Amino acid sequence: MKALLFSAIVASSVIGASLIDEAKTAGLKPIPSRAKAVEKLTSNPKNPTTAAKVELGKMLYMDPRLSKSGLISCNTCHNVGLGGSDGMGAAIGHKWTANPHGLSSPTVYN
């Protein structure tokens, strides 16, 4: 039993290291841990964030009229009240069909 557990730990470490290398090769970088560094990445002096833009974003996020059926908003699957996800094993989409690949709705929180 200990050998099996040890093998699983080693395998997951190797896989994790491989994914990190793959992400670095693709040019991906970790999200900065300091707020000022994150703000520097997300702010654009030519297109500053304003209260009106934030309010528009909230309205669009909650508006089901943007969906094909007119019944589903972004918040239906990425519910900010539930941590930005729907908590389902497989995402439910248009016409209440489950994701054919069994994928769940990822959180919208960073």
Residue 89 lies inside a defined structural domain of this protein: yes
pTM: 0.59
Query: How far is 92 from 77, CA to CA, in rounded Å?
Result: 7
The count of domains in the chain is: 1
Query: How far is 46 from 33, CA to CA, in rounded Å?
Result: 25
**What is the tens place of the pLDDT at every residue in 33-76?**
888 888 887 888 898 889 999 999 999 999 999 999 999 999 99
Residue 99, domain extent: 64-105
Residue 8 lies inside a defined structural domain of this protein: no
Residue 73 lies inside a defined structural domain of this protein: yes
Residue 23 lies inside a defined structural domain of this protein: no
* Per-chain mean pLDDT for the chain: 84
pLDDT above 90: percentage of residues in the chain:
25
